Amino acid sequence: MAEAALQEKNLGNEAYKRKDFPTAHRHYDKAIELDPNNITYYSNKAAVFFEETKYEDCIKTCEKAVEVGREQRADYSLIAKAMARIANSYVKLENYKDALHWYEKSLSEHRDPEVVKKYKQLEKEFKERERLSYINPEISEQEKTLGNESFKKGDYPNAMKHYNEAIKRNPDNAVLYSNRAACYTKLMEFQRAIDDCDTSIKKDPKFIKAYIRKGAALQAIREFTRAQRAYEEALAIDSNNQEARDGLMLCMSSNDENPEKARERALQDPEVQEILRDPSMRVMLEQMSQDPGAVREHLQNPEILRKLMKLRDAGIVQMR
């Protein structure tokens, strides 16, 4: 029986390779009839259904393969293979949640590198789909309004809750990060406020309020040199902004930090350390020290500009 079943399976494989799927089915069915306890015959039949885009039939046949495999204590890799094919079918059916579930089950049986790759890619895509499906600017605006109302009442934790939701609903809105930064400042979480201001500025480099709030947060932790630069950047956008002017004047009058100490503190920043370790940046800084005009060429590269701005803010280099 087993030998006859194997012959039928081989005939089915040949038909499968020729894409003669009806014939392949007939031979695999015969193999199953002769030896109903062999997981491979069910798996092979499922593969035919997959090629025929009959994904529901493929899933059912794979589930039967897993059941038979468990009963017969088949090799874990064979059970994992059937489970992975179920996952592949769910991907084709655009049922990504179930696909992830079956990839996980497959990997719990046998860690096939190809399945790991598919699982990680699908997980990444699934999270991104969920994130994008959650975006809703209209709801975001409603949450921002609720956040503003709570902020005015001095209920900063509740305002934070609404701003968090607003950002999830519209993550590209620069204003929302600036609003949340104001909350963080009230809650004395100044570094988070600075980080949110930086995000706001990246989203909209012309949004002046983010620079002013960054300056205020930096003032609060007595980083007057950096705060001063934030206000200067605000004034570069609007030279008549009174809030930025007042902040700048206050920084200049309050800045009692020794320049050398400020530089030493800046050198402890991991990002500054990483930039200074970069051989290409070291060559560039040496070139700039010998020829100040060389900076213009480097400023054309956005990434180099970002690094130079970081070094400037840290007081490592001077730029005009």
Q: Report pLDDT for 291.
A: 73
Q: Report pLDDT for 305.
A: 72
Number of H helices, E strands in the chain: 19, 0
Residues whose CB is less than 8 angstroms from the CB of residue 257 and which lie 6 or more positions away in sequence, other chains included: 222, 223, 224, 225
Q: Report pLDDT for 262.
A: 61
DSSP three-state, residue 48: helix
Q: Report pLDDT for 264.
A: 67
pLDDT mean by block of 10 residues, the chain; 320 residues? 88 95 96 95 97 97 96 95 97 95 96 95 92 92 97 96 96 97 95 96 96 95 88 90 90 68 67 81 76 67 74 66
Domains and CATH numbers, the chain: 2-134 (1.25.40.10), 259-320 (1.10.260.100)
Closest CA to 9 of 37, 36, 40, 49: 40
Cβ atoms within 10 Å, residue 313: 19
Tokens of 285: 């800084």
Using the structure block, give the residue that is written with the tokens 């030279």: 239
Q: Report pLDDT for 313.
A: 67
